[in-house]
Amino acid sequence: MLPVSKRAWAERKGGGSLMFIDTTMTPTVEQLLRGVIVVSGNDASVALAEAIGGTLDQYVAMMNRQAQAWGLKNTTFKNVTGLTEAGHKSSARDLAVIAGHIIRDYPDFYTYYSVKDYKYNNIAQPNRNLLLRRDPTVDGMKTGYTEAAGYCLIASAQRDFPNGKRRLLSVVLNTTSMEARANESQKLLNWGFQAFDALRLFDSGKPMATVPVWKGATKEAKLGAAGAVFVSVPRGEGAALQTRIERSDPLVAPLAKGQRVGSLKVTTAAGTPVAEVPLVVMEGVEQAGIFGRAWDAVRLWIK
């Protein structure tokens, strides 16, 4: 249970979406998370940020550090609510990266994004993602509106295909209404599912290459991806894909399991990049004894 500060309560003066908490209440973390995710409560965002970061400024700094860790190129946070402020910005690509991390890294919390209604303080509010009620394959993400950004929607859908389930994210920004953002998101999702194939190139746990190791207790190492490798390509173009392994050479022990030693690059027949996947050591390789290391050192010198 968390206290509600005057600063959180003051969000009702800002004209944005609210969970409608006040300073006499002590909502739980879960209630506040639902207030943020389902009804876009700016007051709930402030209450959580203050509890985690101590102050809003410290939490904004945490947000920006996380943005850098996720490789977001065009995102700078200035506040915790998303309301318009000089320098507060993001891009469609960066928003998709954030959404992807939520889905993959926090599956238990992602289920909150599919909740259609939320009631707190005897005030019931609907989730403003209209696609949750229109398309049964849409199971979340997030709406937003400011005068500067317009009506925005990140939508996520998962549909069944002969080779398994496929999930797509759409990001639509700067539309003119709730209806418009829902309609454009629906068009984009439908087009994505119809126009692209999802291909499994490598199964999880399967090596892509077995390569020589120098100064190791074993003479070879198995290299692969951390998980299964999927790519999306325009429909019908999968057969023409080309893969190429680029790796460090020579590989010198010791090598730790999971250590990155190169990349798998996937391109079209014309050389257009499709994906680049880190190549890691699948089984660790310990150093050889002193004589084995010395012999390989001579061989490397000659090579």
pLDDT of 208 above 70: yes
Could you tell me the CATH number of the domain that includes residue 1? Answer: 3.40.710.10
Ranking 66-70, 105-109, 156-160, 213-217 by mean pLDDT, the lowest is 213-217
pLDDT at 295: 63
pLDDT of 235 above 90: no
| Residue 127 covered by a domain | no
* Separation CA 69–CA 83 (nearest Å): 23
Mean confidence (pLDDT) of the chain = 92
For the chain, first and last CA: distance in Å?
Answer: 66
- Report the pLDDT averaged over residues 182-202: 93
CA nearest 203: which of 107, 101, 282, 108?
Answer: 282
pLDDT of 66 above 90: yes
Ranking 92-101, 175-184, 208-217 by mean pLDDT, the lowest is 208-217
Domain count, the chain: 2
| Residue 82 covered by a domain | yes
| Residue 140 covered by a domain | no
The secondary structure element, H or E, covering residue 292 is helix 290-302
* 204: amino acid identity, one letter: S
Residue bearing tokens 């003479």: 219
Residue where a domain terminates, one of 91, 121, 150: 91
Residue where a domain terminates, one of 30, 59, 91: 91
pLDDT at 300: 63
CA nearest 148: which of 89, 192, 229?
Answer: 89
**Segments of 5-149 assigned E as strands:** 117-120, 123-126, 138-146
| Residue 30 covered by a domain | yes
The domain containing residue 69 runs over which residues? 1-91
- Report the pLDDT averaged over residues 235-239: 85
pLDDT of 230 above 90: no
Take residue 147 and report the two structure tokens written for it: 């005068």
| Residue 165 covered by a domain | no
Q: What percent of the chain has pLDDT over 90?
A: 70
| Residue 123 covered by a domain | no
* Separation CA 233–CA 243 (nearest Å): 14
Take residue 19 and report the two structure tokens written for it: 């969970």
Residue where a domain terminates, one of 69, 91, 113: 91
| Residue 154 covered by a domain | no
**Residue 235, helix vs strand vs coil:** coil
Could you tell me the CATH number of the domain that includes residue 238? Answer: 2.60.410.10
pTM: 0.79
pLDDT at 181: 98
More confident residue, 297 or 226: 226
Res. 54 pLDDT band, cuts 50 70 90: very high
pLDDT at 292: 65
| Residue 131 covered by a domain | no
For helices 42-53 and 29-37, give the axis angle rounded to 10 degrees.
Answer: 130
pLDDT at 298: 65
Take residue 218 and report the two structure tokens written for it: 């074993």
